[in-house]
Amino acid sequence: MSELSGKRAIVTGAASGIGRASALLFARAGARVVAVDIEGTVAATAETITREGGRALAVQCDASTESGVREFVGQCVHEFGGIDVLFANAGIVGHNGRLEEQTPEVWSRVLGMNLVGTFLAVREVLPYMKSQGKGAIVCTASVAGLRANAGPVAYSASKAGVLSLVQTIASELYGSGVRINAVSPGLIETGMTEPLFTAARARGSESKIGQLNPLTRYGNPEEVARAALFLASDASSYINGHNCVVDGGLSSSLPFAPSRRGY
């Protein structure tokens, strides 16, 4: 694999799930990787990359704050001399309860991480990418940002905001040579969705997880990582302001009751 040969990449939320899978895949594709997460276990991601012969730096910080974002961007520039790829992936799901049960504090925390953190990361890398006349930014959105019933309300609103942010920034970057796209996962087995999977397995209904999409299964982090790699690489050089949905076809159709006799 050489899709990112010589590239310098930042991946946030890299301690687990989609972020970890993407950091590993980017490194295997030739990138030097700054792996970022608020959890100290992000060091294990960087250690795995190094053990496999790649180059990586782990940065433990809060990617929803200006100070945290400046820290990991500065570390990438200091260690690797610049930035070619940003995968703004860090996110939280927040409160699963009904709207009337939620507080402004919950919304501030979810939007702060998922939307404001994405904005901060993009803003911070742009001067470096603009100065070199090229760069690829990928932001993790979600099918929950497309339609209802795919996630809690604050989470869904934050991911809809990410999609709008990507489209708006793509237009603002007119003529800069910098591209920005989104990847929208469907139901993926990660730490964020672990309660759902644990409950289904306890009930003996794991086989039903993901049954509403045409592939009739849930996805894994590596499948999203491959989409992110494509958008981060020069293979997608004419794709900009786009949302790549990785959901087994869930968002392509209206709800229906599966039947062996068809419709």
pLDDT in tens, 226-255: 999 999 999 999 999 999 999 999 898 876
Average of per-residue pLDDT values in the chain = 92
Distance in angstroms (rounded) separating the CA atoms of residues 60 and 38: 5
Per-residue confidence (pLDDT) for residue 263, from 0 to 100: 46
The per-residue pLDDT for range 44-69, each reduced to its tens digit, is: 999 999 999 999 999 999 999 999 99
Beta bridge partners of 260: none
Selected catalytic residue, list 128, 155, 174, 263: 155
Active-site annotation holds for 155: yes
Distance in angstroms (rounded) separating the CA atoms of residues 137 and 86: 5
- Decide: helix, strand or coil at residue 145: helix
117-132 vs 153-172: helix crossing angle, rounded to 10: 20
Per-residue confidence (pLDDT) for residue 150, from 0 to 100: 82
Which residues touch 114 (CB under 8 Å, ≥6 apart)? Answer: 91, 92, 155, 158, 159, 161, 162
Distance in angstroms (rounded) separating the CA atoms of residues 153 and 97: 9
Strands 8-12 vs 32-37: parallel, antiparallel or unpaired? parallel
Give me the domains of the chain, ranges plus CATH numbers: 8-246 (3.40.50.720)
Whether the model clears a pTM of 0.85, i.e. scores above it, the answer is: yes
Per-residue confidence (pLDDT) for residue 27, from 0 to 100: 98
What is the mean pLDDT of each successive set of 10 residues along the chain, which is 263 residues long? 94 98 98 98 98 98 98 98 98 84 91 98 98 98 91 94 98 98 91 65 70 86 98 98 95 71 49
Of 38, 29, 46, nearest in space to 85 by CA: 29
